[in-house]
């Protein structure tokens, strides 16, 4: 199949490279000339494990290409995937659909034969209807169908998620379009990945409902962690005890400083705005958003308390800045609110992240960055873990103690066993333990 990806960001590039690896002919279109130039030169604009090799191998095989020219990208595709950003709109939290609607208008004049237009972006209920209207008004003679095909990719594991998904959701009722989508995803069907067909609006809502539920699980276990600290229980024991129940499941029950990233914060807000528009309040999700927002600052105060209640003039070493490991994404990272809380209290921040420091520099001020974990700790009054990078899981505790002014460790990801750290002579603070 001939596939065009509109947008060469995280979703568009990963999806395009994976489709090409299935054997489809894929062209990724983006108006960002610097991004396309980088891709032509073999440079990947985002960090995602394995993506550089996947892109390079499919470019070499002639199945994957990149362009800034709409005429080249839209010459004769069987399917056009809209994979542009839908950030939260400033001021009201609604998803900003201007890029989606702009893509629809740009696509319309090029439709010469039956073409499937696929909403891959995360969009509110009813967006597919508007995309269809825009195309039809722009090109009344166009023969096309609009399908919703939401992505369920985890940053840091996106390639595996795409190739071995829990499910593929396809929303639409046009038989020709569904046949095209089945051919596109046929390699996954052979691998026994379930492909679920439903209404277009159902598919749009499935994406938001799924992310909201996962955000709820995270927020739930974080609040249980707070209770565990008060009653003398270990949240990991509680999480295992409930997670072995198949009705609950063990995933997303790891406590921490709150969720961030490109999906959960904006998608929960967008779901709430859609619910308001349709007068169907989502009270649970409202609470999840409020609790998660307040938790990030609360984790900053937790660090201050662990340091005796006063951090003015002190230096704090922070390991981990991105919202999760295996990404360079700083969007809504808990580290931002935590560091700003510590800075507001007068602390100086030394920080290191394996991949996220360049992005961190765009959103954090007055932070001193270091090239490795140990240099970050030298002369600091305390060490704080914020992101659960594997590189931080087995550091030399004796060396850490020798570098710090005072042996204080605040472990917001519970990377280390309490007895191991305390036996090494540290004051240790964790989450829910």
**Active site residues per annotation:** 263
Q: What's the CA angle centered on 235, arms 232 and 238, to 5 degrees?
A: 105
For residue 349, give every residue at least 6 positions away whose Cβ sits within 8 Å of its Cβ, in sequence order, or none.
315, 316, 318, 339, 342, 343, 364, 366, 367, 368
CA distance 109 to 419: 66
DSSP letters for 37-49: HHHHTT--SS--T
CA distance 110 to 77: 10
CA distance 239 to 259: 17
Question: Which phi and psi (to 5°) does residue 171 adopt?
Answer: -115, 120
Q: Residue holding tokens 């089945």?
A: 182
Cβ atoms within 10 Å of 314's Cβ, excluding its own: 20
For residue 212, give every residue at least 6 positions away whose Cβ sits within 8 Å of its Cβ, in sequence order, or none.
267, 268, 271, 282, 285, 288
Q: b vs e for 218-247, b when ≥16 Cβ sit within 10 Å of the residue's Cβ?
A: bbbbbebbeebbeeeebbbebbeebbeeee
Cβ atoms within 10 Å of 316's Cβ, excluding its own: 26
| Helical residues (DSSP H) of 154-199, grouped into ranges | 158-163, 175-184, 186-190
CA distance 34 to 41: 11
């Amino acid at each position: 199949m001939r596939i065009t990806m509109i947008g060469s960001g995280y979703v568009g590039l990963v999806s395009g490279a994976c489709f090409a690896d299935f054997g489809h002919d894929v062209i990724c279109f983006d108006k960002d000339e610097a991004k396309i130039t980088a891709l032509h030169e073999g440079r990947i604009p985002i960090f995602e494990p394995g993506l550089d090799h996947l892109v390079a191998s499919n470019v070499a095989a002639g199945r994957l290409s990149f362009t800034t020219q709409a005429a080249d990208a839209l010459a004769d595709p069987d399917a056009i995937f809209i994979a542009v950003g839908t950030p939260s709109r400033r001021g009201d939290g609604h998803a900003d659909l201007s890029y989606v609607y702009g893509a629809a208008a740009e696509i319309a004049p090029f439709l010469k034969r039956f073409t499937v237009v696929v909403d891959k972006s995360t969009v509110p209920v009813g967006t597919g209807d508007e995309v269809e209207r825009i195309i039809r008004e722009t090109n009344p003679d166009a023969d096309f169908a609009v399908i919703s095909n939401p992505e369920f990719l985890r940053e840091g594991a996106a390639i595996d998620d795409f190739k071995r998904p829990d499910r593929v959701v396809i929303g639409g009722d046009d038989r020709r379009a569904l046949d095209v989508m089945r051919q596109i995803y046929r390699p996954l069907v052979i691998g026994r990945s379930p492909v679920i067909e439903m209404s277009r609006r159902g598919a749009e809502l499935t994406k938001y409902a799924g992310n909201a539920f996962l955000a709820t699980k995270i927020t739930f276990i974080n609040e249980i962690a707070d209770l565990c600290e008060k009653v003398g229980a270990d949240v990991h024991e509680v999480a295992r005890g409930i997670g072995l129940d198949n009705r609950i499941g063990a995933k997303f029950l790891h406590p921490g400083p709150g969720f961030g990233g490109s999906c959960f914060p904006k998608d929960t807000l967008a779901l709430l705005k859609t619910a308001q528009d349709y007068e169907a309040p989502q009270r649970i999700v409202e609470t999840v958003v409020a609790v998660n927002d307040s938790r990030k600052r609360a984790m900053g105060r937790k660090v201050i308390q662990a340091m005796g209640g006063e951090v003015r003039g002190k230096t704090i070493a922070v390991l981990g800045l991105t919202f999760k490991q295996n990404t360079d994404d700083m969007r809504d990272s808990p580290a931002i609110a935590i560091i700003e809380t510590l800075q507001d209290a007068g602390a100086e921040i030394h920080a290191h992240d394996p991949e996220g420091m360049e992005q961190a520099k765009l959103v954090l001020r007055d932070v001193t960055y270091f090239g490795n974990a140990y240099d970050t700790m030298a002369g600091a009054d305390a060490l704080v873990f914020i992101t659960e990078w594997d590189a931080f899981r087995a550091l030399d505790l004796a060396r850490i103690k020798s570098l710090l002014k005072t042996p204080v460790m605040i472990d917001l990801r519970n990377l280390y066993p309490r007895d191991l750290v305390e036996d090494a002579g540290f004051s240790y603070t964790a989450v829910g333990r």
